[in-house]
Amino acid sequence: IPKANFNLLISPWVGLKIVKHLEAKYNQPYLHIPVIPIGEEATSAFLRQVVEFAGIDKTKSEKFIEEESKQYYNYIEHFAQFFSQYWYGLPSKFAIVGDSAYNTAFTKFLTDQLGLVPLKAIITDNPPEKYRDQISDIYHHLVEDDEISIEPDFTEDGYWIEKLLSETDFGSEIGVIFGSSWEKQIADDKNLKLIETSTPSANEVVLNRSYVGYKGALTLIEKLYTVAMGSR
């Protein structure tokens, strides 16, 4: 650890105390990126930020970004053709339950990049009070023009999570809950689709799946619209 040039923290708050301690003890700088990058825009910005902070040559990283971005948008272009035909039967609103790291990342990607409307965001990892304003601020700036924002709820209590979700009005449109197996019953009761993005996950087997980065975003899009099409 003492030999590291710097530390990279990708989390709203978990690990922040550690990197600050290492900075004080070993004079190691740290780069804190609160939101996990999902999708081309966030991932490319993340990579450029890390390369800039590290002070290394940008040639290889820019080539990598160019190649990954091209491939990403090639898939998105084909998806757009599908979306243009079936958009009327696809979800437009969502609620999400999970820890602050993935909750912020999913909410920002789904809102800013896919155009879904967030109705409820429930954070379950009990962040200390001193970090909650910073976390909430992420939800106040989900899109570039700040036209869409949401106030997150902080609770670990299953009873309150179910109550918050049951009181959320999805209207007559197709809605989705991103959460765990514990949200299955409320999803069924409200005729919503459930996509398991947090633990416990009792309804599917996952060996090697990620929703992070370029490819992770494509996996998330596949999952979202496969589940949605299953309701048709």
In the chain, domain spans:
1-33, 89-229
pLDDT at 116 over 60: yes
Q: Rounded to an integer, what distance in angstroms lies between the CA atom of residue 99 and that of residue 111?
A: 18
200 upstream amide cis, omega within 30 of 0: yes
pLDDT, mean of residues 90-95 = 90
Q: Is 126 left (phi over 0), alpha (psi -120 to 50) or beta?
A: left
CA dihedral 38, 42, 47, 51 (to 10 degrees): -150
Q: Other CB atoms closer than 10 Å to residue 206's CB: what's the count?
A: 9
Residues 174-215: tens digit of each pLDDT: 899 999 999 999 999 999 999 999 988 887 887 788 999 999
Q: Which helix (H) or strand (E) holds 163?
A: helix 158-166
What's the pLDDT band for 146 if we cut at 50, 70, 90?
confident
Residues 100-111: tens digit of each pLDDT: 999 999 999 999
- Going along the chain, which residue ranges are E strands? 7-10, 30-33, 93-98, 117-123, 153-154, 175-179, 193-196
| Annotation: CATH topology of 89-229 | Rossmann fold (3.40.50)
**In 3D, which of 43, 34, 41 has the Cα closest to residue 15?**
34
List the structure tokens of 132: 């909650």
Q: Other CB atoms closer than 10 Å to residue 115's CB: what's the count?
A: 10
